[in-house]
Every structure is written in structure tokens, then in C-alpha cells.
Amino acid sequence: MKNSSCPLIAAALLPLLFCSTTEAKRRPDEQPVPTAIPVQSAAPATQLTVSPPQDTALYLAGMPLDPRSPLTPLTQIPMWREHAAFFENAFAKLVQGKFSRLHVWQDSFLPESKEPMPVVYYMFSGPDFLYVDQFFPNASTYIMCGKEAIGPPPDPLKMDFGFVPAALQNLENAMKSSLTATYFVTQDMKVDLQRQELNGTLPIIFVFLARADKSIREVSFVSLDKSGALHESAPGRGGTPGVRVSYVDNQTGRQQTLFYFTTDISDGGIAANPGFMKFCEQHGTGASFLKSSSYLMFENGFNRVRDFLLSHSKMIVQDDSGIPITYFAPDKWNLRLFGTYVGPIELFKQHYQPRLAELYEHSNPAEFGVGFGYQWDYRKSNLVVAERN
């Protein structure tokens, strides 16, 4: 049965959903969340055909909504309350643990990353807005990309009620590795996000924005032609499909913009469809962030994106899977090393960097103390900050 636009019908279905499947059972480690916001009297149906993107983001993130929101009745569903408890617990651990240590380190060693800057490039990012926002919270524009599809606009009001438990569960599964091991398991994310009603990267981006205390103002689906010109477009259509999310940081009041594009940035992919890189060129020089990028720029097939980042960045913050250390010419770049370098994990052991190991051995780097990239154990993680001379 498809969801009606009337909250009274939604409320009437709650007893049926209460007797739901095993997917709705509470996990043993979860705590119950407070009673959901009381259902208010029904607003006119014409106001409830599409939920505002900020309400959708809060709902997917398991956060309280305004009592007047058309999605408020759906917070009465027991499996949503369990979903909210899961995210509340996961993000609380992240904020109180890893991110608190990261911010102490950042204040001591990289305060300049908090300064306003025009653009931050995050290649091979997938939907990982979470970490680029922690390192560079005050950029005007974030440009992210990956091969993962964006998906349609998520709207809980249009979800089939029978799929709500599985859809929320799949969203949790798709994000679980990023909340614990700091990176997305791409194959798992593809399986989870292609199921049911919530698919693509946009639901994850919405959750990260809401949990980072941002208020979404507008979501526009766009595409890039081969010249890099931006056009309004139907979701997933156009030469290089993308999404533009305009939002406000609730702490600073700063208006910011996030772009995510589905594109292939290998040399062959750029040759066939150069629009994305030309769009990036139009944004000029900024900072770059690289994490868990599968050591792709160690390969000859990714020369163009590597050269772009080196020529369009004043600062590059990365783990050892980003740009090989040998590409940072000493006369152009100042390198600061943090943590420890033990080499790549077994899957990428062929990309061990003797030069990086030598630099770590002789530079007595400061501690980093945060699990990062593929090295989720903080005792084995590394961070490289490259600043143009």
C-alpha cells in the first residue's frame, strides 16, 4: 500500500507497523529514544505531497522534527524510533571519541583548515561529506565525485509503508562502515543502496548534513555538458549527472554549497567526458582532501586528475592512498607528516612507499591519534599535509 499524503491515514497505519517483521526488532545494544513528537492536527493535503529536503534529512538521520512537519506522524513508527536510536548512538560515539580527538589535533597542528576558503575538492569521495566537513568546515563550495549514482530525491511521504523497515535498515548498513572504520565499503554500499526505496548517495549525504547541524535550503539536480557548463536536469540525466545542495551551517550562519557528481575520472573517462574536470577548473585553486582513494593515483590511468589536484591546490590533506609522495616536488611543496606509516593494508600492499617510510623515519612526526582512511586503528594511521610553498 502506497503512503497517502494525509497524516491521519499514516497514523492509522501505525498499529499495523507495530507488529512488523524481525527487521524491526531492537538491537540489544540500543537504548530507546524519547517519545516521538506528538502528532498535530492534519494540515491541508496539498501541503503534504512532497516533504521539504531538510525535513527529509532530519527524518533519515533519526533526529527530531518540527511538530508541524508532514513527516512528524512517521516518527511514531516503532522502527523509525529504533533507527533514530541506532544513529544517535553511532554519532554520539563518533563525536565524543574520534572527532573530539581530531579537533584537539586540528587546533594544535592545522588551524588554517578552519579558515574560510573558496573551494575544496574531494575526488573519489563517494557520499563522504562527513570527513571533509570535519577537516574543512568553512569552505564556500565542496566538489565531490564518485562512480556511485545519486539516486532519486528521497521522500519518505512517497515510500511504500511495507518497505520502511528494510529501507531504514539498508541505510544503516550502507553507512555502518563509514561510522566505524572511516570509509565506505563500496560493494556493500551498492548492494544496500540499490534496494527498496532509498537508493543512491543522496540519502547518505542528507544524513551527514543533518547530523553536522546544517539546514538544507535547496536541492537541485544538475548535469554538466562537455564544456563544463552546469544545467538543470532530471535526476541522473545529462552528460555528467550531479546534484547541488545549498545549505546553511547552523553554528556559523555561513551559506555553503555541496556538489556531488557521478563520473569516471580515470584518464579514459575524462577523455570521453571532460565536463567534470572543466567544471572544476572554473572554480580555480583551493584545498584538496583525499582519503581511502584505493591508491588509484598510483596508476598511470589517473594522471590527469592527479595533475589537476597538484596544480589547483594550495593545501592537500591526505592519507597514504592519495597522491604518491614522490609527486610532491620539494621546491614546490612543504610536507608535514603525522601519525605513523606502516604501509598499506594487505589488499594494497603493492603500493608501499619506501620514500614515505624514509621521511617518517627521519622526521620524528607528531602524533595524529585518530583512525583514518584504511588504517582505522589510530596506532597505525597516517596523515600527510602538503602546503604549496
Single pTM value for the model: 0.84
pLDDT-based confidence at residue 199 (cuts at 50, 70, 90) = confident
Which residues are within 8 A (CB) of 118 and not within 5 positions of it... i.e. 6 or more apart? 139, 140, 141, 283, 284, 286
For residue 328, give the C-alpha cell: 610532491
Residue pLDDT, tens place only, 98-140: 999 999 999 999 999 999 999 999 999 999 999 999 999 999 9
pLDDT-based confidence at residue 233 (cuts at 50, 70, 90) = confident
Instruction: Tell me which residue of 73, 64, 43, 46 sits closest to 164, measured CA to CA.
Output: 73
Residue spans of the domains in the chain: they are: 7-284, 313-389
pLDDT reported for residue 369: 92
| Beta-bridge partners for 286 | 313
Pairwise CA distance, residues 321 & 293, whole Å:
6
- Any idea what the Cα angle at residue 279 is, between residues 277 and 281, rounded to 5°? 70
Pairwise CA distance, residues 378 & 385, whole Å:
17
For residue 186, give the C-alpha cell: 563500496
Mapped onto helix, strand or coil, the DSSP state of residue 262 is strand
In this predicted structure, the answer to whether residue 81 has a pLDDT above a threshold of 50 is: yes
Residues 255 and 245: beta-carbon distance below 8 Å: no
Instruction: Tell me which residue of 199, 197, 198, 201 sits closest to 209, measured CA to CA.
Output: 201
The string over 14-23, giving b where at least 16 C-beta atoms fall within 10 Å of a residue's C-beta and e elsewhere, is eeebeebeee
**When comparing pLDDT for 356 and 4, which is higher?**
356
In this predicted structure, the answer to whether residue 31 has a pLDDT above a threshold of 90 is: no
Instruction: Tell me which residue of 59, 112, 110, 119 sits closest to 83, measured CA to CA.
Output: 59
**When comparing pLDDT for 64 and 10, which is higher?**
64
92 exposed, middle or buried (CB, 10 Å; 0-12, 13-18, 19+)? exposed
| Beta-bridge partners for 248 | 215, 255
Instruction: Tell me which residue of 155, 130, 170 sits closest to 56, measured CA to CA.
Output: 155
Which residues are within 8 A (CB) of 342 and not within 5 positions of it... i.e. 6 or more apart? 375, 380, 382
**Residue holding cell 563520473?**
263
Residues 117 and 283: beta-carbon distance below 8 Å: no
**When comparing pLDDT for 73 and 32, which is higher?**
73
Residues 297 and 349: beta-carbon distance below 8 Å: no
Pairwise CA distance, residues 231 & 119, whole Å:
20
